[in-house]
Structure 1
């Protein structure tokens, strides 16, 4: 993996790390279905505008059914599940459970024959989970039915992301990342259109919630999904999803900088473990001379 690829992973992690606190703000105001639908619609509009400006063609119609599957696994389902979880779980819990996505991606890619399951990658996942545990101090949460269901929702969302990343990788081999991203968000918008419309009367938007939805839809969904697909065109799916391991690190950082949250003593060793895990999974080594 080249340095620019690793830098892009860090960039994606930094922005996606901010999405969990944003979801905590917006989900109670718009509801899980409404937030997911609005977020997808905004992303679809942004990507369509970019395509228009760049004069890029939409994928051929024959490719749309496969991209529709991609939209469900990597957009509609995870958005809805994380929105539901945000009603009961702190953002830190969701970020930690999201860090399991590389494991699901690694196992799925190995099962489908797309990638090899190596000891290095298994060690990277184990090391990453250890680092995440140090980075985010979880306060006591009562073990109630809604908490268990929310944690299960986060795990299912991460599994959907992980398995969907394999299909994203395959899609980049035949489609342009921008067009595929746009179609995927159009498909997710269509899937969520009716539930969003049905739940619209119960929405209670605030100024903060509206601004949050705009950020989630235009930046962390549309633009970041496109960047992620462009990156995935050049690196393995497992390596691309390893950015999830760094998301809790940035969640702690954003909280310290903008919410004046205390930095725990486990932050530095946790950060080092997470970065080491990402190196193991991606194979990135800045000291290794480049070939060719």
Structure 2
């Protein structure tokens, strides 16, 4: 289906919003994680995000998702919203930031493999080449971040790897759901399911919130409202309009943005090697998302879609 340039630009803009907000989450987690344990931080983030999304659903009068969307919502809610956030928070407290970033960036590769196996998504050479370049950049960024010291435990690496697997499985499960329900519905109910899965951490959240500094609590609320509610909705919107593998490759821009944001917000000046790795990440994303040449005959034969907005 050949969408107009304007309708191709909207999913790209949504992907840009997503990676910017997810990159900011890594910076905020580093401060909020000092006051909150992994499960409590995940639950507080999901509660803030779920409340925000529920209000948006009420304003837009979004009803319950159709029955066909529920399997994907349930799987993505438990694995991506729930398990992924707890495992990532737990892993990042036991490994240095560079190792965590390196292991979690296996996720986009797993998305491409899972999407090809379960969704039948194509894996064109451009996509594979771009992901290879970006993963190389992520490795360089991760090793550069680890060079400054900090210990890594085997359990921490395993937790980050499990988080990457849960992330990939959640994305692939979400893809069919966004074909049957709106992005806001899929995100809202996925977030609420993730919050329910994290309810065993309620006691920890209450006890830790009473002694946490205001900045850490505000950081947790920020994580819920922006990197969760807004970013996950933008992601679902973009996922409904592109392949899971190509959208997953876009997240390789996150390491480069984390380097830049840490420089601006935390004063952590990156070295030339780290900057080079970040540039490789961005270059790989550009290659992976570039459009190959379409044969003139195919263009001529393609019938324009009278209603591009109907694509979910």
Please give the TM-score of this superposition, normalised by the length of structure 2: 0.83
Aligned to 1:139: 147
TM-superposed deviation, 1:36 = 0.9
Change (3 A) 1:12 1:62: closer
Aligned to 1:167: 173
Contact 2:15-2:234 at 8 Å conserved across structures: no
Aligned to 1:17: 23
Aligned to 2:277: 270
Aligned to 1:36: 42
TM-superposed deviation, 1:202 = 5.3
Aligned to 1:232: 239
**Structure 2 residue runs without a partner (length 5+):** 305-312
Contact 2:68-2:177 at 8 Å conserved across structures: no
What are the residue-to-residue correspondences of 1:112-127 with 2, within 5 Å? 112-127=118-133
Change (3 A) 1:98 1:53: same
Contact 2:76-2:169 at 8 Å conserved across structures: no
Q: What is the rounded CA distance, in whole Å, between the counterparts of 1:65 and 1:7 in structure 2?
A: 28
SS in 1 for 2:115: helix
Residue 74 in 1 paired to residue 74 in 2?
A: no
Contact 2:27-2:261 at 8 Å conserved across structures: no
TM-superposed deviation, 1:253 = 0.3
TM-superposed deviation, 1:279 = 2.8
C-alpha root-mean-square deviation of aligned residues, in Å?
A: 2.6
Contact 1:64-1:183 at 8 Å conserved across structures: no
TM-superposed deviation, 1:70 = 1.4
TM-superposed deviation, 1:149 = 1.4
TM-superposed deviation, 1:120 = 3.1
Number of equivalenced pairs: 288
Change (3 A) 1:62 1:285: closer
Counterpart selection for 1:217 from 204, 214, 224:
224
Aligned to 1:108: 114
SS in 1 for 2:94: coil
Aligned to 1:248: 255
**Structure 1 residue runs without a partner (length 5+):** none
Please give the TM-score of this superposition, normalised by the length of structure 1: 0.88
Aligned to 1:148: 154
Which of 1 and 2 has greater Rg? 2
Contact 2:103-2:160 at 8 Å conserved across structures: yes
Contact 1:101-1:244 at 8 Å conserved across structures: no
SS in 2 for 1:29: coil
Aligned to 1:257: 264
Contact 2:239-2:247 at 8 Å conserved across structures: yes
Change (3 A) 1:87 1:236: same
Q: What is the rounded CA distance, in whole Å, between the counterparts of 2:267 and 2:72 in structure 1?
A: 44
Contact 1:123-1:277 at 8 Å conserved across structures: yes
Q: What is the rounded CA distance, in whole Å, between the counterparts of 2:243 and 2:76 in structure 1?
A: 17
